[in-house]
Amino acid sequence: MKNGHGVPRPVGGPIMTPVMKLCLALAGITTLLLIYRFLVGLGPVTNMTDGHPWGLWIAFDVVTGTALACGGYAVALLIYVFNKGKYHPLIRSAILTSALGYTLGAIGVIIDLGRPWWTWKLPIFFWTWNLDSVQLEVALCIMLYTAVLWIEMAPVFMERWEQEDDKPRLQEFSRKWTPILMKAMPWLIALGIVLPTMHQSSLGSMILLAGPKLHPLWLTPWLPFFFLVSCIAMGYGMVVLETMWSRTVYSRYRETSVLSALSRAMVVVLLTWVGVRLFDVIASGKSAYLFNLDRFSILFWLEVLLFLAPAIILMLKPTRTDRDRGRLFMASGMMVTAGMLHRFTAYWFAYNPGDHWNLYFPSMFEIFVTVGLIAAEVAAFMYIIKKFPILTGRPSAALPT
Amino acid sequence: MVLPTLDSTPLDPTGLDRRDFVKVCSMAAAAVGLPSEAAAAIVENVQAGRKPSVIWLHNQECTGCTESLLRTNHPTLDELIIDLISLDYHETLMVAAGHQAEEVLQAAMEENAGAYILVIEGAIPMKDDGVYCKIGGRTSIDLVSEVAERAGAIIAIGSCASWGGIPSAAPNPTGAVGAPTLLEGKTVVTIPGCPSNPYNFLGVALQYATFGTLPELDALGRPKFAYGRYIHEHCPRRAHFDAGRFVKQFGDEGHREGWCLYQMGCKGPVTRANCSTLHFGEMNGAWPIGIGAPCFGCTEEGVGFTIGKFETVEITDATPPSTYPPIFSSREGPNPWATMALGGIIGGAIGGGIIAAKKVSQPSEDEIGLGEV
């Protein structure tokens, strides 16, 4: 992990910046809100009904949040499956984003569950598992993958702890476990690639089980495929956004060459998605739905456009100036938005449980909890990159270490 | 009583052979909810000539319970009274009359003392020494007491025999009471209902005839298999009750849609019976609530013939559980504040993204790899 353009080093600098304070304030309010939610239950605080039992928390925190956290998966695929070592400088921040994202997804599930206090039973009572359940697979994979991601992150923490002479026990622990962890790492990385492949597609299968409650344009056996492919695009997109932004903010080498090399892979992923999507709709005789000009056809075209546009932008001839970086950033933003829209549409906009149900719209409470969770994630990210060796490149002279 | 033994030869000139007979027994056992081995036991009993003797006494009543029994098909009445039981005395159905009839009664009691089933239909007038109901010059009090003395099992069929029924309704001019009051101290199985469901009677009678036992009874002598629950608990319209959809007036939209009849005076919530699961006349839906009439509470003392027909009852036991979710719960739709918040977040994200893209594309002196793009 130490090859590439530089050795990862902690960013350093003051922790309590204004942004950090804002994030902590939002997260703090959310903690209070969550205490209230666990006291009174889901009914009084959310706009969910029996018709729309999955609201913003599932659609965003879990289904979209874990897909946004697929950066680690996408980069690991490139590095370890396609053996492209040059992407190594990206892996630590990508895995960190993934670990934080999945942890938040898991917290999101627990917040959304009606009886969260039984969650601990799931991985233990294996003899009662319903092996035909997609939800079981998703739950187990997400639990396991979250654990795997944090173990993958462990060397980062241990590197730091090894140097802390004033904490001998931590140092001892790190020295003892680092070699063992390094031996186990290939297996963990393999697990870290298999698990998201399983459950990211299963997130598509899960809403597919709603059957005709889903609008025909989204009710397709290819939905798991679309979820899987779009999660790779979202993962890449997030890696670009996060790498570029954090390195711009912390005045680091921005890895533009590595990132734009990634963009070629992205073009393939995006065009595959768009091609299969259009082919599937036409081949299954649903093309009439495309030109209804109702909100579903508009959502469909918006989705296709958002997947297609970044592919076109990335195929433009490079200007070899700083503008390329802006382009790549924009394209990545679109990619992420496209995947988010696809998930939101499948789980929310295109889902109609029946005429008797009001259209679901999240309550202020739900929106605030989601915002607070994101704020918590940002705060944790900022803290970890400042304290632990995540980002590569020279430490900036402008900032005190 | 001499019976032909059963073998492969026809039982009687009409041509009922063993095979058909076993079928009848199985059907009877199944229809009244006895276990499958009961069919074999019934066949054996009958083969051995041990058909239970039944003595049926009428008192103050309308004969509705007998009429109801006549309409059973599983088994049919002829199969029942010829093949399965020996109906030795029944004032409505027997051929004998006058002194001959009374002799049959005495003979049956002598012959099967301690083993026959006494079925009591109708209330027994107690006022003025029971002069209001006499058969062959003897009062009901006298007759019922005498026959009950040597009976193996006593079944009171119908609400009149169970607790007084219509004859006991206020002001009760004849002082009518149910059989359990007259025969205090004896086990009287009561099968209330107006009329009672014949299968509840058959279930008890055939179980006693086959195994010599009685089903589990509640404090009022009612078999628990039939009277253990309120009609309301298994009512096919229960979902409408829980959802708050009530008939307000006969013939209104809710009535035509088959909604809950509680507000029309349905006594289902306070009446214990199995009408809601075992309908009448062997026709699905043939019971009061099934045809759109509120339950009258006929089986329950103090409800039927006592509370007004359209009077609503207080629900004590079977209120809808408050933990059930409503069938359709409505939530507020897009609330202006939530919409504004969400719109602000989305707008902020797009704006922030554009600004960030600009900032990212600004040259920095740290950058050394740009030339490779």
- Please give the Cα distance from B230 to A347 (Å, whole number): 43
Same domain, B209 and B268: no
Q: Which residue of A has its CA nearest to B357?
A: A326
Q: Are residues B95 and B190 in the same domain?
A: yes
Q: Residue A394 and residue B363: Cβ atoms within 8 Å?
A: no
Q: Is residue B1 included in any domain, yes or no? A: no
Nearest to B330 among A254, A321, A358 (CB): A358
At residue A49, the 3 state secondary structure works out as: coil
Q: pLDDT truncated to tens, each residue of chain A (401 aa)?
A: 333 446 787 888 888 889 999 999 999 999 999 999 999 988 889 888 888 888 899 999 899 999 999 988 888 888 888 777 777 778 888 899 999 999 999 999 999 998 888 888 888 998 989 888 898 988 998 899 999 999 988 888 888 888 877 888 888 888 888 888 888 888 888 888 888 888 889 999 999 988 888 999 999 999 999 999 999 999 989 988 888 888 888 777 777 777 777 788 889 999 999 999 999 999 998 888 898 888 899 999 999 999 999 999 988 877 777 777 888 888 999 999 999 999 999 999 999 887 767 788 899 999 999 999 999 999 999 999 888 888 876 544 444 43
| B190 lies in the same domain as B247 | no
The domain tally of chain B equals: 2
| Sign of the alpha-carbon dihedral angle for B221, B225, B229, B230 | negative
Q: Do B329 and A49 touch (CB under 8 A)?
A: yes
Residue B345 lies in a domain: no
Q: Could you tell me if B295 and B310 lie in one domain?
A: yes
pLDDT digits (tens, 9 = 90+) for B52-96: 788 999 999 999 999 888 887 777 777 777 777 888 888 888 888
- The residue among B194, B226, B258 that closes a domain is B226
Question: Testing the interface with A: which of B360, B364, B367, B368 to mutate, by most A Cβ within 10 A?
Answer: B360
What is the rounded CA–CA span in Å between residue A301 and residue A320? 32
pTM of the model: 0.58
A384 Cα distance to chain centroid: 18
Chain B contact for A358 (CB, 8 A cutoff): yes
- Touching check for A352 and chain B: CB below 8 Å? no
Put simply, whether A41 touches B (Cβ < 8 Å) is no
> Among the residues of A284-392, which ranges form H helices?
295-315, 323-344, 364-387
B95 at A interface, C-beta within 8 A:
no
Question: Which of B330, B337, B369 is closest, CB to CB, to A257?
Answer: B369
319-338 in B: which are within 8 Å (CB) of A? 325, 328-335, 337-338
3-state secondary structure of A79: helix
B233 and B278 within one domain: yes
Rounded distance, CA A261 to CA A240, Å? 11
Nearest neighbour of A358 by CB, restricted to B331, B364, B366: B331
Angle of CA points B1, B4, B8, to nearest 5° = 160
CATH of the domain at B37: 3.40.50.700
Residues B276 and B301 in one domain: yes
Q: Clarify whether residues B120 and B255 are in a common domain.
A: no
Q: Which residue from A255, A258, A362 is facing B338, i.e. has the nearest CB?
A: A362
Q: Which residue of chain A has the CA closest to B373? A: A257
Q: Which residue has the tokens 């039982």?
A: B11
Q: Which residues of B touch A257 (CB under 8 A)?
A: 369-370, 372-373
Q: Is A51 on the interface with B (CB under 8 A)?
A: yes
Give the CATH number of the domain where residue B241 resides. Answer: 4.10.480.10
- Does A248 lie at the interface with B, CB-CB under 8 angstroms? yes
Touching B: A residues 121-160, CB under 8 Å: none
Q: Which domain holds residue B242?
A: 229-322
Asked if the structure places residue B186 within a domain, the reply is yes
Please indicate if any CB of chain A lies within 8 Å of the CB of B342: yes
Say yes or no: B186 and B306 in one domain. Answer: no
* B354 in a structural domain: no
**Residue B120 domain-assigned (yes or no):** yes
